[in-house]
Amino acid sequence: MSAALPVGHHGVKTLVVEHHRGTAIHPRAAQISQRTMEILRTVGVEQIVREKSDEQFVQDGAIMAVETLAGRELAYFIANLNEGVRDVSPCERVFISQSLLEPLLKTRAEALGAELRFATDMVSFEQDESGVTAVIQDRDSGRTETVRASYLVAADGAHSRIRHGLGIPMRGRGVFSNSVTIYFRGDLTPLLRGRNLSVIYVNNATLRGFFRIEKPLDRGFLARR
């Protein structure tokens, strides 16, 4: 969907094929860099992303590490998300979960002419001199369809079937960690003690992971090994 935005902005028609039935149900990525915000600004979604980010998170929080939430602080990697970078761009860094961001990207991509097909798999593709022919399949009906395009963008994730199909090997380090995401509700105000914290890494003998806490500081998630 992200790729559909700038090309749609330049008047190129796209077909986005996604295995899942809808946009992300997990929070996943949240830190949006200034460069990403500049791209979102170009395609007309910066403002709504800022508004939704502000609804979800206290802005300009720190990225830091603790032994425990209630206990010793270990380090502040970034004391304020925009400190020192505010003047280098008209855009600011924000936090917004993928589950909130993706519907915004979807709405804008469609407004720019993208056709989105969820619950659809791309099962095979072939490239020739003038473009790509792909077979896509509706997961519910099993119906297949052949589509033709000038280009195919392989935005199919870390285990990319397209990358494998093209014989492109994985380089560098593979698995970094296997983690679970735990959602919780609970009053975190006493533990935060007035600190504005965007990402809290926890590192002790029994727990390694990170917290992200949402407004009004009564919910969040812990991603832990």
Ligand X SMILES: Cc1cc2nc3c(=O)[nH]c(=O)nc-3n(C[C@H](O)[C@H](O)[C@H](O)COP(=O)(O)OP(=O)(O)OC[C@H]3O[C@@H](n4cnc5c(N)ncnc54)[C@H](O)[C@@H]3O)c2cc1C
Active-site amino acid positions: 201
CA–CA separation, 187 and 164 (whole Å): 46
* CA distance readout (Å), 162 to 115, 176, 181: 20, 22, 28
C-beta atoms surrounding 189 within 10 Å: 12
Task: Encode burial over 58-86: b for 16+ CB neighbours within 10 A, e otherwise.
Answer: bbbbbbbbbeebeeeeeeeebebbbeeee
Which span (42-50, 61-69, 108-116, 155-163) binds ligand X, by CB under 6 A?
Answer: 155-163
CB closer to ligand X out of 4 and 17: 17
CB closer to ligand X out of 179 and 204: 179
Which span (23-31, 65-73, 82-90, 139-147) binds ligand X, by CB under 6 A?
Answer: 23-31
CB closer to ligand X out of 28 and 190: 28
Residue with tokens 């399949």: 137
Rule CB under 6 A: is residue 105 a binding residue for ligand X? no
Residue 45 C-beta: closest distance to ligand X, Å:
17
State the residues that interact with ligand X by CB under 6 A: 17-20, 28-31, 121-122, 155-157, 161, 181, 223
